[in-house]
């Protein structure tokens, strides 16, 4: 039953037909179906969605296409094979919290030897970067999903239970969404 629901949700998301609450955050994700990380995206979306929902943010996922073209209300998540030369050497992704609602995820910094941990890790990275966009500032927390980096132990624990946003991040997300008129 769970497998069927996951497959159905994936099909709807890929088709760009996902439905959700009127005030849900729209997230458009671009990744080619032929990309080696594509099989992990359903789990990543589920994990990121759960993390954001715990912070009071409902999310509707779309694959880039007709529902995402020129949609200024949507956050664009672009999954890329490699980090560009101008990217920080430390991050697995980057966001543009000052104006552009774009997140870039660099698979060359995530996929090495992660196996089954890749889906939850990718979900945490996406939630973290969306957190930057929603907060509207470039900052990190001392705990939770908005930490600058996660220990190996924290990354292993992601498979069991997703991390959460720290209380101060939840507050900043709420204020940022009002300021940016995201909802």
List the pLDDT tens digit at each of the 183 positions of the chain. Answer: 443 333 333 333 433 444 455 578 889 888 877 778 888 889 999 999 999 999 999 999 987 665 565 566 789 999 888 888 888 878 899 998 887 888 999 988 886 656 778 899 999 999 999 999 999 988 999 999 999 999 989 998 999 999 999 999 999 999 888 777 664
Q: How far apart are CA 82 and CA 177, in angstroms?
A: 30
For 28, the enclosing helix (H) or strand (E) is strand 25-30
Q: How far apart are CA 158 and CA 175, in angstroms?
A: 27
| pTM of the complete model beyond 0.85 | no
The alpha-helical segments, DSSP class H, found in the chain are 2-15, 41-54, 118-135, 152-157, 167-180
All domains of the chain in start order, with CATH: 2-180 (3.40.390.10)
């Amino acid at each position: 039953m769970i497998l069927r629901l996951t497959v159905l949700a994936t099909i709807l998301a890929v088709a760009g037909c996902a439905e959700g609450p009127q005030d849900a955050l729209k997230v458009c994700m671009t990744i080619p179906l032929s990309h080696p990380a594509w099989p992990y995206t359903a789990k990543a979306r589920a994990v990121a969605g759960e993390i954001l929902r715990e912070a009071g943010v409902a999310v509707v996922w779309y694959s880039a296409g007709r529902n995402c073209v020129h949609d200024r209300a949507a956050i664009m998540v672009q999954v890329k094979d490699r980090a560009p030369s101008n990217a920080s050497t430390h991050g697995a992704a980057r966001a543009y919290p000052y104006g552009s609602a774009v997140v870039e995820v660099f698979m060359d910094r995530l996929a090495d030897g992660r196996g089954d941990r890749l889906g939850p890790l990718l979900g945490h990275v996406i939630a973290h970067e969306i957190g930057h966009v929603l907060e509207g500032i470039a900052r990190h927390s001392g705990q939770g999903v908005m930490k600058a980096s996660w220990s190996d132990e924290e990354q292993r624990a992601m498979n069991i239970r997703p991390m959460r946003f720290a209380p101060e991040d939840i507050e900043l997300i709420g204020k940022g969404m009002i300021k940016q008129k995201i909802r």
